A and B are shown apart, each in its own frame.
Chain A
Amino acid sequence: MNDVREVSPVQEMAGLDEGAPLFVQVAERLSAEIADGGLAEGERVPSSNELAAYYRINPATAAKGISVLTDEGLLEKRRGIGMFVAAGARQRLLEQRRTHFTEHYVEPMVTEAARLGIGTDELVGLIRAAGHTREGATA
């Protein structure tokens, strides 16, 4: 109960933050879709007008979100037809997420564990137990 931020774990995983500018959120949602495989490499990405209508945002904002991903080389423009997911985009995003996971979950967990006097071995044990419970529940 230490951290009671009103951000769902899924949003947090996607790096979403309600305080971020809208175009950043658009870029993050698209990235999350690419990372999850919802948008496959080589697939066409919704146009800025389609995104604007869907999220009810200004088309200029949606276009700015798309251009963030283009600048990072995650999307590529094909003249006259639109924007497409670039080759290797998913792999790169998954690597980014692993780094994010370490920084935002593992490190704070280790810090908080130390504060509570939980040693590394005990912490590993707790993680194992949680993993077993989860496997038992889904089996």
Chain B
Amino acid sequence: MTAAITVTGLTRRYRGKLTLDQVSVGFEAGAITGLLGRNGAGKTTLLRIIAGQEFASDGSVRVFGDSPAENDRILRRMVFVREDQAYPEFKVGDALRAASWFYPNWSGELADGLMADFALPRNQAVKKLSRGMRSALGIVIGLAARAEVTLLDEPYAGLDAVATQLFYDRLLADYAEHPRTILLSTHQVDEAAGLLERVVVMDQGRVVLDAATDDLRGTATRVSGPALAVAEFTARRQVWDRRRMGSQESAVVVGPLGETDRGPARNPRLTLEPVSLQELVRYVGTRPAPDNLQRTTA
């Protein structure tokens, strides 16, 4: 993996609290990585430090081998779209013009297309826009900048389902034509799952999982059926969650299943269902990661 962004031992203390605790992670060049985790896990702080908008207490961030802090050369190769971005006393058109001057790869054509898609009025003052419209403006700038590193922090806040889908479709279409390094911080794990080549999950200021999305599928399986059969199946396996109702039981087992587990020879009274990425992220935040995905902390 060639990393576009390398984070080493990054720590951020704020008012006596550790928002980032020795974070070391690399973000693959040219890939879309999902940055996942609960609120307060440290995702926004990490993105802000990468974007040069906040400073680390300890550790370092390198973007294309250089520190982004107060480094104009690197900052122009990065765009950061965040929930509730503050703009000066600007009209929508002014914000676009300013962005077009700053970003060397700016595509006016793409910006125009996106403005039409989201029905954004150019003459409206940014401050008067609704929350969803402000998010849409952030998305227009974030995509039209075609920056080599694109940081998107919950960029769809306040957008309805149709507009959110539009965002994913446009992101995917433009990324296919113009590949770039994208970090997408999101709560909507299942909606974004197909787009993510890798996922990095944070919890309490630490990275708890860093894996290729393909490797995660089939990592955990929900097994349900008669309690005895479930007990037999789950023996000698790591179990994350177990529920029982009368004689029926349901358990989430960790680790890939073998041919005998899912093949014709398996107990036909057991139901096996894959655990979605969204659920997996939730479990990973609260339990030890499965052995095959355990992070080797250097």
Contacts and interface: CB of A to CB of B under 8 A. Distances in A.
A20 B268 CA distance: 20
- Which of A19, A22, A103, A112: most chain B CB closer than 10 A? A19
Contacts of B269: 2-3
Contacts of B175: 59
B195 A18 contact: no
Interface residues of B, number: 29
B264 A104 contact: yes
- Which of B217, B221, B262: most chain A CB closer than 10 A? B217
B83 interface: no
Interface in B260-293: 262-264, 268-269, 271-274
Contacts of A5: 271-273
Contact of B274 (A19, A48, A60): A19
Contacts of B173: 53
A134 interface: no
A18 B273 contact: yes
Interface string A1-35: 01111100000000001111111000000000000
A61 B179 CA distance: 14
A96 interface: no
B169 interface: yes
A58 B32 contact: yes
Nearest to B194: A57
A95 interface: no
Contacts of A56: 168-169, 172, 194-195
A49 B173 CA distance: 8
Given A53-B173, A56-B194, A4 B214 contact: no
A22 B172 contact: no
Contact of B217 (A3, A20, A107, A108): A20
Interface string B192-225: 0011110000000000000001110110010000
B218 A58 contact: no
A104 B263 CA distance: 8
A31 B282 CA distance: 34
11 contacts: A3-B268, A4-B271, A18-B274, A19-B272, A19-B274, A23-B214, A53-B169, A58-B196, A60-B197, A104-B264, A112-B268
Interface of A: 2-6, 17-23, 48-49, 52-53, 55-61, 64, 103-104, 107-108, 111-112
